[in-house]
């Protein structure tokens, strides 16, 4: 697979955190690797009963994808 193939064909994936679903979108990172990026907020209840909002940022990187060719030769 090439990085171009991945970025044109990959579909967003759902990631569930504390029972709440965020969507991770396909992306090519500045390192050259490809994968998915998510950003959002979830609400959780702390042990004392207080409810707080958490900011969530994450990268899901396809291991070894930095070595993939950029495009087909």
Q: What is the pLDDT along the chain (73 residues), one digit of tens a residue?
A: 999 999 999 999 999 999 999 999 999 999 999 999 999 999 999 999 999 999 999 999 999 999 999 987 6
Closest CA to 66 of 1, 5, 3: 3
Domain count, the chain: 1
Q: Quick check: is 24 in a domain? A: yes
pTM of the model: 0.88
Length of the chain: 73
Residue 69 lies in a domain: no
Return the pLDDT at 32. 94
Task: Find the domain containing 19 and state its range.
Answer: 3-64
What pLDDT does residue 72 have? 79
- Between CA 63 and CA 54 the distance in angstroms is 27
Return the ∠ at Cα 40 (arms to 11 and 42), rounded to 5°.
120
What pLDDT is stored for residue 71 in this prediction? 87
Rounded to the nearest 5 percent, the helix, strand and coil shares of the chain are 15, 50, 35
């Amino acid at each position: 697979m090439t990085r171009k193939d991945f970025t044109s064909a990959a579909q967003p994936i759902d990631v569930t955190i504390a029972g709440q679903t965020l969507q991770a979108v396909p992306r090519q990172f500045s390192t050259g690797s490809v994968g998915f990026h998510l950003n959002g907020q979830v609400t959780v209840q702390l042990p004392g009963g207080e409810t707080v909002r958490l900011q969530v940022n994450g990268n899901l990187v396809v291991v070894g994808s930095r070595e993939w060719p950029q495009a087909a030769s």
